[in-house]
Structure 1
């Protein structure tokens, strides 16, 4: 049984006998005229199939009585003319053989076949409420089954959201997934180092972005996992900056938040460094504060510890640093506990310290234990992957030392929870000494 078939079997084990699950991949989307955006499959669909062609739907039928469980794919038919223009298609029979489905049919046959599969099924699992068109289609399917009532057939008694089951499965990465994520992180780490080596004052942000993209593709990554952030100077204080068109100046820090997608799995790395290769003293003080906050967060990451612990540890360090560096007034704002209670730190640190990472850059899964009283932060488990990304963002403001103005710093790494702690998957230079050594070695 291949890995995708194993996942299908695990999902089917959570469904009642005879229940049906339906999951379609993402549609192609027109960019303009007769050109489409670069196609990217639906993550849930790919997780269960490994199949990357558009216009495809997976139907799973749980075992009941003497009838074994079945995995049925509906996909595009072979078409020699379209393959000349658009490339290879597996076709139903080819897909069945290559990907281990029990049966496969043309996508045009889905509406005609689904009624037979839903007949007498106790429940239909699908992405309930995810979009109105799908909900409307399900209603049509249910109505078609109800019209067979005179033959003694009954429609499913319930429609159940499929995605929470898959979210919990996707949250724990198996060995194959971990290997892909390590490769994505290796490629992205090399890309960050490449940008550092290429940097010179006066370069445009998009020139550095081009260095990232080149390294992604030359190492086999299919695409960026998200829109890259390349922010020089004050632009680094914009959390989701995307223009990437400003020119850097001598003395600027460059914040790059970028990661590639490799075989369906994302990486997400942020580094901040001086475009001229040397941190100024004020920049170094802020950078060391963020690095210390990340170190504290990493100490809070291990099996059994709460997910929220990393953020709480980082905020403690950052709040103390804001007081020590004069970003916050000790006489006015009190100690660390007062700063956090009054949320004064949000002026300079307004986001969380991480998120799940996997097939999606902000991956699926609950951050709280919704089954427990009070819904506490869920405990970390081996196989989970998180980002750890504290930062500090200092905009001009009264009472804030001017030497720190227009400075944005974030340090982000990808971390796998292991049986005995954690492993950092990303390896781009992180310390002041390592960054300066790398950058100065290319400028001699």
Structure 2
């Protein structure tokens, strides 16, 4: 891995938090992701399942974590199962985890080779009454592929039909949404790498540059700072392309007078950052562009102040909508009649700001979190309002990542990344 080793105490704490929520006489199983094929002998780059990483730090395919806190023998209460490595694998694929190295990474002393999993599980099942299966219940989930976890669940139900079933996901949704200090530090590292990429771009962007060249500059800067690369598909959207919320083609020329919307950020150690800035290709905003930019920035600043413990997700977005409505009226994009006659299911402001303002951030860019529960300290959120004006040929979005504090305003993990229009202009023309 490119990233520096994470202290195993983080994963030890995470396992203790999870097992504290387990029922008596129960076992929980977590599987690595598959390596997905492309065609012939080609595969996609491996991405570890975030849940097994959160609980063990193991960042390797064909791995299984088993937790059984009530097992009669201490060595059975936490167990890792890894693909057995050998000299042939080392030559063709590179170093894999040894049992000793797996302990250093995870803090788990009992490490078996994968071939022993079924035998060990059978013994554990004789001690237990309930198994926790790990299903994907994220509110944005729309997975059509059968995962390694899915195959395990189908096999387990057939092999052990008499056991009760419980779900790991509701526990993980709650635990993963509130970050440990070590996790916040890793997200901060990802934000710092993102800052380096953005500052590099301010010197690079000019009329005639292609969107994919901008993407390449970012990737260079991210990887040279120990990141695997982008935390999500990069959006490098010039001119009218910025009005496509998930524009990822990144194949057009950046033209004089246009704005360039950059929704681009680095990952670090599987933790995401999430940045958006909108900059002028020519180095100066027009008067109209700057007016819209400052309106978006005002909404972001006001929305950020509301991210405090106790805030309810639904109410937060209602209040942000009111602020955005006022700014759109000031820009002449809507008027009071539009507001008075608005459809309650699609408010007037949504013509120009049609997406949510914030989402949880962490191991996933759209991270786990129970949206019906009040916000808590040490949750990490994005703040990303935007105004999109197809008829004027541009869109503007601005986004930072913030940590909720016990009291006072949230801590901005991206406070050092240029955001004021005047500062961006100054840096682009230095």
Per the TM alignment, residue 429 of structure 1 is displaced from its structure 2 partner at its CA by: 1.1
Query: Cα deviations across residues 249-305 of structure 1 (Å, max 9, x unaligned)?
Result: 100000000111101210000000101110001111111111111111012122223
CA separation of 1:350 and 1:120: change in aligned 2, threshold 3 A: same
CA separation of 1:342 and 1:50: change in aligned 2, threshold 3 A: closer
CA separation of 1:342 and 1:99: change in aligned 2, threshold 3 A: closer
Separation (CA, whole Å) in 1 of partners of 2:130 and 2:333:
57
Per the TM alignment, residue 68 of structure 1 is displaced from its structure 2 partner at its CA by: 7.6
Q: Does 1:266 align with 2:272?
A: yes
Q: Does 1:257 align with 2:293?
A: no
- Counterparts of residues 158-307 of structure 1 (less than 5 Å): 158-307=164-313
Contact (CA 8 Å) 2:339, 2:347: kept in 1 or not?
no
Contact (CA 8 Å) 1:414, 1:424: kept in 2 or not?
yes
Q: Does 1:37 align with 2:26?
A: no
| TM-score, normalised relative to structure 1 | 0.87
Q: Tell me which residue corresponds to 2:328.
A: 322
CA separation of 1:118 and 1:333: change in aligned 2, threshold 3 A: same
Q: Tell me which residue corresponds to 1:351.
A: 355
CA separation of 1:328 and 1:265: change in aligned 2, threshold 3 A: same
Query: Among 6, 11, 23, which residue is 1:4 paired with?
Result: 11
Q: Does 1:115 align with 2:104?
A: no
Q: Does 1:423 align with 2:429?
A: no
SS of the residue 2:119 aligns to = helix
Stretches of structure 2 lacking an aligned partner (at least 5 in a row): 1-7, 138-145
Per the TM alignment, residue 65 of structure 1 is displaced from its structure 2 partner at its CA by: 6.5
Aligned length: 413
Q: Tell me which residue corresponds to 2:395.
A: 408
Per the TM alignment, residue 46 of structure 1 is displaced from its structure 2 partner at its CA by: 0.3
Per the TM alignment, residue 211 of structure 1 is displaced from its structure 2 partner at its CA by: 1.5
CA separation of 1:269 and 1:309: change in aligned 2, threshold 3 A: farther
CA separation of 1:316 and 1:334: change in aligned 2, threshold 3 A: closer
Cα RMSD after superposing both structures = 2.2
Contact (CA 8 Å) 2:34, 2:147: kept in 1 or not?
no
Contact (CA 8 Å) 2:309, 2:404: kept in 1 or not?
yes
SS of the residue 2:19 aligns to = helix
Contact (CA 8 Å) 2:195, 2:417: kept in 1 or not?
yes
Query: Among 33, 57, 70, which residue is 2:64 paired with?
Result: 57
Separation (CA, whole Å) in 1 of partners of 2:418 and 2:362:
23
Per the TM alignment, residue 417 of structure 1 is displaced from its structure 2 partner at its CA by: 0.5
Contact (CA 8 Å) 2:402, 2:413: kept in 1 or not?
yes
Stretches of structure 1 lacking an aligned partner (at least 5 in a row): 147-154, 370-378, 397-404
Per the TM alignment, residue 53 of structure 1 is displaced from its structure 2 partner at its CA by: 1.2
SS of the residue 1:408 aligns to = strand
